[in-house]
Amino acid sequence: MLGNPVTDDEIDTNSIVPFAHLKALISDELYESFMKNCKSEYLNPDQSNASCMEDILAIKECIGKLFTGQILEPLCKTISPKPIALKLDPRFLIADDTDILLSSPHVPRPWCRHFNYVYIYKWANDETVQDALHIRKGTKKHWERCNKTLAYSYNVKSSVDYHRNLTKKPYRALIFR
């Protein structure tokens, strides 16, 4: 199973404009102008082509404030993986959040998916939760959502060959984005 993989930097980025057009986020005229002037190239457009650059600016104006991961949700500032660094608008937080999940009749507007991360730190670092999950004492002083200590390099530009390989095998494969 491949979940939310980057298929290919070039394919993914260049598919933004056709996707925006299919979802009626940009007009037919702008889409056709982009296709003609930019020749479908959104990732690496010809910088000297003024018409293409105008089209790209117009497209960015139309889709620039969208959350690309889920276009029906608001675009929110990304919350830091370190809870101490959180700088949230106080309107979105409740002073005594100990019973927020049980007592709050609704989530404050505008809701942002990333706001859920605020509470996961409190939950994952709670001693009773760690006991229930059978986490050995002393193995982790403080849980963090993103482990930045792993030496990881982002060197796979495309997973198309992996997709192709999986689909040629007699395996069942679920590939979603």
pLDDT, tens only, 148-175: 777 777 777 888 888 888 889 888 777 6
pLDDT at 115: 78
> For 93-113, how does the pLDDT look when each residue is reduced to its tens digit (9 = 90+)?
444 444 444 445 555 566 787
- Residue ranges per domain, the chain? 2-63, 83-132
pLDDT at 61: 96
pLDDT at 106: 56
pLDDT at 126: 92
pLDDT at 109: 61
For residues 149 and 134, the model is more confident at 134
For residues 72 and 54, the model is more confident at 54
> For 108-133, how does the pLDDT look when each residue is reduced to its tens digit (9 = 90+)?
566 787 777 778 888 999 999 999 99
pLDDT at 79 over 70: no
108 contacts 92 by C-beta, under 8 angstroms = yes
> For 1-40, how does the pLDDT look when each residue is reduced to its tens digit (9 = 90+)?
565 667 888 988 999 999 999 999 999 999 999 999 999 9
pLDDT at 134: 93
Calpha distance 34→65 (Å, rounded): 19
pLDDT at 176: 67
Residue indicated by tokens 């993986």 = 81
Query: Strand ranges (DSSP E) for 9-164?
Result: none
pLDDT at 60: 96
